[in-house]
Structure formats: C-alpha cells, structure tokens
C-alpha cells in the first residue's frame, strides 16, 4: 500500500507548526496506524531527518496514551483507539492527514504529542476514596445493585485518551469528567465524598480552561469505549444535588 501522509510537525509549544507531506509505501493492511507511523519514522531516521513524535504505550487499546486526529476524526474512521486502528480501513493511494488533539487545554508538546495533564488534575481534585477500609470485607458484605454495578463499570471503561475533548467543537471535558464522577458516585465506597467530588471535579475542569458543553454529541461519537452521552445528564443531576445541598449549609 502506498500513502501520502500530511503530518503536523511542531518543534515545541513556542514554535509555529505546519503540515509536512511524506510519501510512504510498503504499508501492509495488517499494520496498526502506529506501526505505520513507526515505518515512516524508520525511513526518516535512515535519511537523517527528525522522526515524528507521537504518544503511545500499551498499544492494546487500554492505556489511553495514543491519540491523534486522522482525516479530521479523533482516532480515525473507526470507533477504536489509534493503536487498534488498522491500515485496512484505508485505500492504496489515499492522502491521510494526521494532527494532534486540538484543544486549548491540551497544548502541543511536540508534533503529535499534547500535554493532557489537565485530566490528571481533574481526577486529583475528586477521583479518590478517603474512607478507611481496614481489612478486606466479606465479598458480599456491601451488596451493590446490578444496575449500579453495570453503570459504574461502563464509566470505568473511560481510558482518559482525550478524544472527547478533541472532537468537541468547544473543547469540553464534560464526557471525561462525567465518566469519572459517575464511576465512583454510584458505588458504596464513593458515597461519603459524593457531593464534594462532583463539585471539586467540575470546578477543576473549569479552571483548566476546557470549553462549555452544548450536548452536540461529537464527544460520545468519538469515544473509543462508547461512553454514552446520557452520562453527562447523569452527572448534571449529581452537580445539582450537590450544589443544593451545599447551599443549605
């Protein structure tokens, strides 16, 4: 397979970037998108050129480290992570644009690498359980209704890749934040901090400079794990509950 790649190159956060065109051939349809970028980098290194910087780690669709905008779509044309996207979804002779996440809260570090530490600070603001648990309890000492367990598990699938932010026209982190809030708030272990968690995490999200949510749906469409858009509505109910309780104090 032969491709024309238009890749965003940017030396650092303070240097203007631009799209640079590369022609590449010998690409197998069984390669992942990141393996294709590895092949490009091997050719660049052999020519004495600077390789393209991009994030990756597990390459199994679990860690959330990878993530680029491919032909205008976060993670590309399939609902999966960039590392699990295979080149069989492209045609021989295609021109493929590869860009970093575009959001004010995700500044470019170099080329396709962006700083997503804002997510860490949101989680740090409330993504914890502070209750002393002591020894391990009996397996069924605190039963969790199946509906709550399924809801929590669904939201625990968020890997924090940032595709929801990159896809949102406002650069909102509401889907990410709602997933982290909803995951913990429905479980018995997270109940004691339920009100403070939602207030603290939403406040941290606002302070990080993410845009406002207008429920356009791009975030849920881009999410490789399929976190549903109603998650935001569920978190909004938690936020209203917490603010009303706080106002009565």
Average pLDDT of span 6-32: 96
* 137, pLDDT greater than 80: no
pLDDT of residue 132: 67
- Whether 100 and 111 have beta carbons less than 8 Å apart is answered as yes
- pLDDT, residue 2, reads 97
Mean pLDDT to the nearest integer, 22-40: 97
Q: CA-to-CA distance for 1 and 128, rounded, in angstroms?
A: 47
For residue 136, the model assigns a pLDDT of 66
**Per-residue confidence at 89, pLDDT binned at 50, 70, 90?**
very high
What is the mean pLDDT of the segment spanning 67-83? Answer: 97
Q: Taking the model in full, what pTM does it have?
A: 0.92
User: What per-residue confidence (pLDDT) applies to 150?
Assistant: 95
**With contact defined as beta carbons under 8 Å apart, do 99 and 6 qualify?**
no
For the segment 227-237, the average pLDDT, to the nearest whole number, is 95
Pick from 46, 26, 45: nearest CA to 36: 26
């Amino acid at each position: 397979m032969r491709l024309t790649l238009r890749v965003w190159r940017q030396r650092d956060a303070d240097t203007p970037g631009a799209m640079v065109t590369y022609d590449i051939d010998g690409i197998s349809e069984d390669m992942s998108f990141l393996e294709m970028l590895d092949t490009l980098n091997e050719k660049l290194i052999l020519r004495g050129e600077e390789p393209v910087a991009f994030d990756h780690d597990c390459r199994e669709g679990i860690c959330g480290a990878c993530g680029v905008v491919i032909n205008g779509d976060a993670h590309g044309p399939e609902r999966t992570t960039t590392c699990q996207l295979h080149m069989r979804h492209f045609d021989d002779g295609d021109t493929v644009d590869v860009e970093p996440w575009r959001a004010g809260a995700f500044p470019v570090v170099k080329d396709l690498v962006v700083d997503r530490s804002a997510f860490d600070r949101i989680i740090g603001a409330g993504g914890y359980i502070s209750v002393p648990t002591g020894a391990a309890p009996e397996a069924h000492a605190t039963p969790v209704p199946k509906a709550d367990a399924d809801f929590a598990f669904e939201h625990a699938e968020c890997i924090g890749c940032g595709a929801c932010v990159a896809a949102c026209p406002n650069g909102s982190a509401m889907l990410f934040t709602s997933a982290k809030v909803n995951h913990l708030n429905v479980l018995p272990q997270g109940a004691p901090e339920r009100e403070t968690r939602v207030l603290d995490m939403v406040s941290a999200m606002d302070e990080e400079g993410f845009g406002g949510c207008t429920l356009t749906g791009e975030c849920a469409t881009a999410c490789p794990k399929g976190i549903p858009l109603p998650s935001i509505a569920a978190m909004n109910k938690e936020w209203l509950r917490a603010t009303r309780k706080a106002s009565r104090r």
